[in-house]
Every structure is written in C-alpha cells, then in structure tokens.
Amino acid sequence: MSDIFGIHEKSLMFSSKRAQLIANNIANAETPWYLARDLDFKTVFSQSQTAQMSQTDVAHHAGLLDGEGFSGLSYRIPLQPAQDGNTVDVQMEKSAYLDNAMHFQASMRFLNGRIQSLMSAIKGE
C-alpha cells in the first residue's frame, strides 16, 4: 500500500501523534516544571527511512513511531520560560497545532483523491 499512498499514510500517523503532544502541552500550560515537547517531521521521517532500509525481515517493526516512545521527540526550547519552570508558550502551541492540522488536512485530501482515482479505475470509468 505504501506504493499507492506514498508517505501520506505515515504523515497521518505522525500528525495524529503530534496533535496529541501539542494538546498535552496546552493542557499543562499552568503545570509547574512541565516541559513542552514536540515531534520533528524531518527527524522522524529520516529515522523511519533508515529503519526501513536496515530491516532484515518483514516481521521486524520499521514503523514511524517506536512503541510508546517517539523517535524524534524533543523538548521545546522556550523563548521566555516561566518563573515556575514551565516551558509552554500557549500562543506558540496554538500556532503549531494549526500548522499540524493543515498538514493533516493536506495528506487527507491527497489520500482521498488517490482513493477516488483507484475506485474509478476499478469501476472502469
């Protein structure tokens, strides 16, 4: 299926996990010593590609995200940390969430178009 859908299948999984992280950051904006976290698509994608290239058996896991932890997970460097040690900047998190939502929507539109094309080919249209 990866030949048909390309990177967009993994992009949707990434966007979903990133949305959860960003929402968690916003929810903990008032929690003392909470450190905001994020995922970097380029890092996750390059690690995923490397894992796929070094995969020796089809039964081995070579996914985008490794189990409960994330490859590519990092802490945000705050522009202005709070006195209580919290590094969440709510405005920055909202911006990141909207950016992530746009990437998710773009991947969904691509996949929808690809599926419609496949359905047309199956029906012989």
Label residue 51 by pLDDT band (50, 70, 90): low
- CA-based end-to-end distance of the chain: 22
Query: Has residue 101 got a pLDDT over 50?
Result: yes
Query: Has residue 10 got a pLDDT over 60?
Result: yes
- CA–CA separation, 109 and 71 (whole Å): 26
Strand partners, 73: 39
- CA–CA separation, 54 and 3 (whole Å): 19
Average pLDDT over residues 97-107: 94
Label residue 61 by pLDDT band (50, 70, 90): very low
pLDDT at 43: 75
